[in-house]
Each structure stands twice: as C-alpha cells, then as structure tokens.
Structure 1
Amino acid sequence: KWDPERLLQGYFHSAATLNFLRGFAANADPKALSAIDVSSLKSSPEFSSLEGGAREIGAKYAGGGAPTDFYTAHEAMQLDLEEALTRKVGDKYYNLSAHLVWIGDRTRQIKGAHVEYFRGISNPIGVKVGPSMTVPDLKELVQVLNPKKEEGRLMIITRYGASKIEEMLPAHIEAVKETGVPVVWQCDAVHGNGIVAKSNNYKTRRMEDIVAEVLKCVEVHKRCGTVLAGVHLEVTGQDVTECLGGSVGLTEEMLTKNYETFCDPRLNYAQSIE
C-alpha cells in the first residue's frame, strides 16, 4: 500500500544518518575504519590478503587524522519530493537533498519529466544505462543532460548484467566519445544481475555475477581507453541472507533465514567486505 508518510520517515532517517556520518568526519574518528572485521572470511582463498588490507587500514587510521570529506547520492525517482527539496542558490537551482542525484534506467526517457527536471538543476547528476539503451538515444541523452560539456557534470552508471556487458558497453563508450561530452563512468554491478531462486521464488543475486561484471567492466574500459571511476553496489552492515555465494557460502535454502529487504537484495557485511 502506498503511504506518503514513509517519505517523511525516509527523510528523517536520512538526516539522522547524515548527522552520524558528519560526526565521524568532523572529528576524524578512526574507529569506523580501524575496526574492519574479516574473521567471517577465513574460508576465502583471498583471506590473507583481506586480513592484511584490514590491518593496513586500521594502522593508517588508528592515530586519527584530518577531517574527512564525504558525499551522498540517491536516485531522484519521486519528483514531487525532489522538487520540494530544490532551492535557488544564486542564479542556479540545486537539489539540496544530496550532492549528486541520478535518473533510473526506467525513467530516463528523453522527453520525460525526470530528464526535464535534471536539465534544470546544477548538481552533478547521473543516469543509469542498461541493455535497452540504444546508441542514438544515448548520444542524444548525454547532450541534453550536459549541453555545455562540463567536466564532472554527468555520470553514466552502466547496469547490463555480467552476461551482457561485453556486448553492450563498447558501443556505448564509442557513442559517448563521438558526442564529445565528458562523462564519468561508473559500474552498477547489481541491478543487471537479479535472478529468482528456483527453490523458493526469492529475488536474489549471485555474488559471482556481481564480481564478474565489475572485472569485465574494468577490462572493457581498459581496451576502449576510458576509465572506470567507481562501482555502484547495494550493501548493508547487517548479517542478512539476501544474495547468494561469497566465502560465507550462502545458498538458496539459506535465503529464508534472514531475508529482510522490502525492495532489492543486498550484499551482507561479509560479502561487502570481501
């Protein structure tokens, strides 16, 4: 059932989380970074490397340091909410609910309301690009969203799935190059890899597919002379059972143990650290 009150609840929890993060950032509090626990990954063939990395990070931040900058982003899906959080600053309009907002793969129609809204704000913006994106549409879209060809204005977040990325990404990279529009490339390695578990019909993802898409994305960008600047994942610090695989060996039968998401399956703490 649709409940607008949940938008207000989401706003409250977002504000509380931001204030919590700002406390860490302002005080250069090292505890969050120096306490990475990899003990649940002992069965991983990469355990010694993971343990060494966690130890190195812990040592680096154990003595504190300078205040840390951090930035937030979210999909601007509900335009009524996003418009209410948009303000004029100087002679430009900004969505003040996040540093960066992005358009989803299902709402990126060139003549649609989301693209029109994004054209009018001065935030850095992103757009999801999946298998249904045609080369002509991508060329037009990047020019509409970044007509002044500003560096850092537009991020393209690809989300093809591990089985389709090698087929789709090279043509999309070439299409963007031909427009001359500068973009930042990011890999969404989760949304194209959704499956339904045969044994219980739970929506899930395989960690091996997520890792495979990231690695393939790195290789394609290397061949095409472009740079993969980031990875987009859905994770939680909780011990949920929503995604399959990883060193924790999560199987379909284990999904029912602690499946808490109301939307998309997330990598749990151990899978995220791995």
Structure 2
Amino acid sequence: MAGQFAKPRSDPFEEKDGVKLPSYRGDNINGDSFDEKERVPDPHRMIRAYCQSVATLNLLRAFATGGYAAMQRVTQWNLDFTEHSEQGDRHVSVHYLFLGFFEGYGTSSGMQNALHPYLGTVCLKLVLYCELAHRVDEAMGFMAAAGLSVGHPVMTTTDFWTSHECLLLPYEQALTREDSTTGLYYDCSAHMLWVGERTRQLDGAHVEFLRGVANPLGIKVSDKMDPSELVRLIEILNPRNKPGRITVIVRMGAENMRVKLPHLIRAVRGAGQVVTWVSDPMHGNTIKAPCGLKTRSFDAIRAEVRAFFDVHDDEGSHPGGIHLEMTGQNVTECLGGSRTITYNDLGSRYHTHCDPRLNASQSLELAFIIAERLRRRRLASRIPLASSRSSI
C-alpha cells in the first residue's frame, strides 16, 4: 500500500487569473488552497502527517486482523462486482443463456468469433469475470471441505506492507533508525521506499540517502531512462546484487513501453542484476480534460498493462507486479471502465487533491483483466509464448 503526503511537481508555480503562487507539494509541506499563506512551507505539517500516518496504520492493522480482509469477504466483493455493476445489471443473464453454447468452444477467441461483435466485447468479458469469480468461490468451498475452516487465521487475516516515494529528506532522516542486532539502518517511515523520476540523479542527495538504508527500494523509470544509467543506478543502490532489494517501476505509456522497455530489460539482464519488474500504468497516461481537470483513460491504462505483459513474454522475463492509484470510493476521476465515465461525469465526484484515481469498479475490472491474463500465461507456459497473449 503506497501513500504519501509529499508530491513532486513538474512546475514549481501555479497561476490562476493572473496570480502566481508556489505549487501545492503535499499536505506535509503546504496547503492545497490557492492562497498565499497556505502555499508557504510549514515544517509543523510533517508532525501532523506523521500522526495521521500512525492513525492510518493502526486502522489498517485493525482491518487486516479483524475480519475485514477475510477471504470470504474478498470473494463476495468479486461476486458483487460481476452481478451488480451496470454491465452486470444489463448482461449477467448472458452468462447463463449462453453457457451451453460456450461449452462448444475451447478458447475465448473461438467464443468471440462466434458471437456478434457487441456480445464478443461486452458480454464475453462479463462471462469471463463471472467464471473467474465463481472459480474462486468454488476453491473456497473446497478448502472448507478439506478442513480449513472460515475461522482459521489464514482465512481471516492478511499481511500488508507500506511504501512511498523518498522525497522529503528531512522527514525520512528523522525516522531512520539503526537496528541494534545487525547494525543496519532502516528508514522506518515505510517498508519500501522509491526514488522518483525527478530525484534519481546518480550524484543526488536522494540516491545517497537510499543507498545507506537497508529497506527494499523502488526505482521509477520513464521512457527518458537510458539503459546504461539504470544499470549504474542499480549498482549504486544494490552493490551486492541482493535479490529483493530493487524493484524497477516502469511508467511510459503503452507505445513507449513496447519500444523502450525491451532495451532496459536486456541491459539489466546483461549486467547480471537481479530486479523485480513492476508496471505503473497510471502516471504515463495523465491527460487534461476540456474542463481543466487532470484525468486518465481506463483504456490507456489497460493498454499499458497489456504492453507490459507482452514485452516480458517476448523477452522471456517475468512481470512482477502492477502499481495502481485507486480508491474504494465511487469517485469519477478516471475515464471509461464498465460504468463508462465520460468527460461530463468528471466534476460530479472528483475528490482528489492531486492525481486521478481508479474507483472501486474500475479497480476490480482491471484486477479481473490481469487475473485472466495471468491464467492464460500459466496455461500457455508449455506452448510458444506468443500464444499466451490475451485480448486485454
């Protein structure tokens, strides 16, 4: 789980109606109101941010151990999504109507070719979601029959880890401690820290700080990253090539992903470096709506996820994770998805102070898409890699 109260900004100033003020840089630096007093950096905000972070972590711990994360609840969320989304209201009956028809086709492509294009793109997608959700439900039933009761801690609790960008160094330094048993230093503000596009200079203060702590580290990478520079940065941050130390988080947009990512993978592999590759399909797809609000297209996000998997299939490497900005609230900040949010809808529930987030429905839809892609990848592991690509 990633969250932060400090934000890097592309422009140091913001201008409205001829008035120019310093940009909002996050709640632990200054305020988001367009007011001269609010935009003055206040160090006491770091203390308030710390206290709120502590309260949030305590709430997460209560959720993680108090049944909110129980597998039965997660499964019910999946089923609710497939049965009660707007698509579900219109098309869930298709799952039952065509179930016997689908049994005559061995692959989703066969089903899609046999159906009208509209059914092939909308109804088929819903059918796949329903089938996946019900497979999870059936697995839960099997585990219960095998003696793993619903009250078992494995079924009712979960572990979680936190992460954020190492941006505001005074905050990070104040929370760094030495482990008395190992002599290693850890930044206790989060489990994992990452260095961003604007702060990853090889001779910069942020890289110097991060190379001295033993936390797992992330490196945000855009299409501007030179392969040789990435190799050198990994060498600085992980000189012993310890597995699990470095996660490379790629944010490029779909087309750049297909062109740039293969060169990065080959350079890192050629240097013998061990890293985890993660896709951030959010930050490379931010656009400005006609109304002036920042937004992102669900289709563009999905396209970048697909490009990420395709490149790894081609390179014989492993896609290690997806980094999303999301909320469980029913916001209207990103375009598209099963509920088809449009530009006209953005203003109705646009709550973010900075970056647009996927709402609950969009997040679950993308999770189903990724799960289906992983399933296909697993089933295709014994046949040529190219055939493992799906229609996401």
Query: TM-score, normalised to structure 1's length?
Result: 0.92
Q: Per the alignment, in what secondary structure is the counterpart of residue 313 of structure 2?
A: helix
User: For 1:108-147, what aligned pairs fall within 5 Å after superposition?
Assistant: 108-147=200-239
Structure 1 residues 64 and 160: alpha-carbon distance in aligned structure 2, compared to 1, 3 A threshold: farther
Higher helix share: 2
Residue 123 of structure 2 corresponds to residue 33 of structure 1: no
What's the counterpart of residue 20 of structure 1? 59
Pick from 363, 376, 380 the counterpart of residue 272 of structure 1: 363
Paired residue for 2:126, among 16, 34, 47? 47
CA distance in 2: counterparts of 1:9 and 1:252, whole angstroms = 35
Q: How does 1:172-251 map to 2 (within 5 A)?
A: 172-197=264-289, 199-251=290-342
Structure 1 stretch 241-250 or stretch 33-42: which is displaced more? 33-42
Query: Residue 87 in 1 paired to residue 177 in 2?
Result: yes
Could you tell me how far apart the structure 2 residues matched to 1:6 and 1:47 are? Answer: 46
**What's the counterpart of residue 199 of structure 2?**
107
Task: Measure, in 1, the Cα distance between the counterparts of 2:188 and 2:343.
Answer: 41
**Structure whose alpha-carbon radius of gyration is higher:** 2
- Structure 2: gaps spanning 5 or more residues: 1-38, 91-121, 142-148, 366-392
Deviations 1:211-251 (A, max 9, x none): 11111101101111110110000000111111001111101
- Quote how far apart the aligned CAs of 1:208 are: 0.5
Q: Which structure ranks higher in relative contact order (CA pairs < 8 Å, sequence separation ≥ 6)?
A: 1
CA distance in 1, matches of 2:192, 2:73: 24
Cα distance per residue 1:99-130 (max 9 Å; x no partner): 11111111111111110011000011111010
Residues 203, 265 of structure 1: 8 Å contact kept: yes
Q: Equivalents in 2 of 1:180, 1:189: separation in Å?
A: 26
Post-superposition CA distance 1:163-221 (Å, at most 9, x none): 21001100010111122111011000101111111x21211110001111111101101
Displacement of 1:47 after TM fit? 2.3
One-letter amino acid matched to 1:222: D
The percentage of counterpart residues that share the same residue type is 42
CA distance in 1, matches of 2:43, 2:132: 43
Distance (Å, rounded) in 2 between the aligned partners of 1:249 and 1:22: 34
Please state how far the C-alpha of 1:16 moved relative to its aligned partner. 2.3
Paired residues in the alignment total 273
Query: Once the 2 structures are TM-superposed, how far is the Cα of residue 32 of structure 1 from its aligned partner?
Result: 4.6
Q: Distance in 1 between matches of 2:264 and 2:350?
A: 36
Mapped to 2, the partners of 1:265 and 1:147 lie a distance apart of 36
